[in-house]
Amino acid sequence: MNEKLLLVEESPYLRGILKDILQRRGYALTTVESLKETKAKLVESDASYDALVLVTEKKPELVEFVRKSRKFQFIPVIMISGEKAYKNAAKELKTLFLRRPFGIYDFDTFIESARELVEEFEYT
């Protein structure tokens, strides 16, 4: 698999658990804990990610930032939140929404679905 993911999660505990699980599943992972740190990673000249995984309870500012970026506007984004209200915002931003709690065994399917959603966006 070896897809490169950028995982954004504020909680060190949850970030550590997700990192461990996703690395065992074969993903190459970069983890960050804040919006500021994520933006810094995304603007690095050699930044290259196959998907962005955003675990949040806040307004999806980062997704909006990514969608406006020339370099990453078509990167698949998976937004994970316990807030059901974010589902509509995710749809508008061409982002796959996973509501907490979620089954990690379906993660590969979520990555593929996010990629397909972005491909649809590219060609419309």
pLDDT at 121: 58
- Residue 38: the pLDDT is 86
For residues 17 and 124, what is the distance between their CA atoms, to the nearest angstrom? 37
SS (H, E, C) 71-113: CCCCCCEEEEECCCCHHHHHHHCCCEEEECCCCHHHHHHHHHH
CA distances from 9 to 19, 54, 70 (A): 10, 7, 24
Where in the sequence is the domain holding 43, given as residue range(s)? 4-122
Mean pLDDT by 10 residues, the chain (124 residues): 82 88 88 88 84 71 79 80 78 77 71 68 55
User: pTM (2 decimals)?
Assistant: 0.79
For residue 81, which of 66, 60, 67 has the smallest C-alpha distance?
Answer: 60
Q: What is the largest CA-CA distance in the chain?
A: 39
- What pLDDT, on the 0 to 100 scale, is given for residue 10? 85
Domain of 16, CATH number, reads 3.40.50.2300
Are residues 78 and 110 in contact, defined by beta-carbon separation less than 8 angstroms?
Answer: yes
